[in-house]
Structure 1
């Protein structure tokens, strides 16, 4: 059956694939298949936006961090949310490295009200921050929080 790529990425059209392939793949293999489609589609978008970083390596780090975040929050993000986070965080890391301006949010209230999320995100992003020698500012943590909250 035909399934448009936007249905896979944005509209969570994986149920058709699961039905078609359930006789051939295990549940775990189907999850890996779905994740790989999302990651590879994200990679092509990230590659178009990055200028100095290796998009394959960066996406691998970010993908791992997003997987950990889902585990720690005990939540599975929709494909559109994962896709958005992959692209946003990869571009964010490059902006931090090139020291480009970052949009401000109302960080003071956020820092006081969402310490648990801040600590969790910092924990999952520790490897990314270390590898690229950057620190994700609270303004960006707040942006990521809003993204996850609206999942």
Structure 2
């Protein structure tokens, strides 16, 4: 598996299939657990037909965390190559100000962490994306 980071907009928009959101709430990292898994992941998911990638990021953050009030910023693009298949996504950073009820969809649990948890769904991808988001959040100067 190979994960690459690209400058924002370096990947053509029509190739961006996924949005991943590194999120903070009350100065803690937000991780979610899918109902069918025992591992943690950052919020995110697949782009739906007709959506912009920014709409995907906002929708996934709301669906997977219950976020009601938040700021969200684009960080960078990324690719994941497994065997001969490469998929592309966009990484976002979000400060969540208000969490509401978790929608009854795929996610069963939202948890706040001081650091990246050990049991990750995608351990070769998520720490790299989280690190990139942390590096960039200081430059974005989002409200905390």
Whether TM-score is above 0.5 comes out as no
TM-score normalized by structure 1? 0.29
TM-score normalized by structure 2? 0.30
In our comparison, the structure showing a higher alpha carbon Rg is: 1
Choose between structure 1 and 2: higher strand proportion: 2
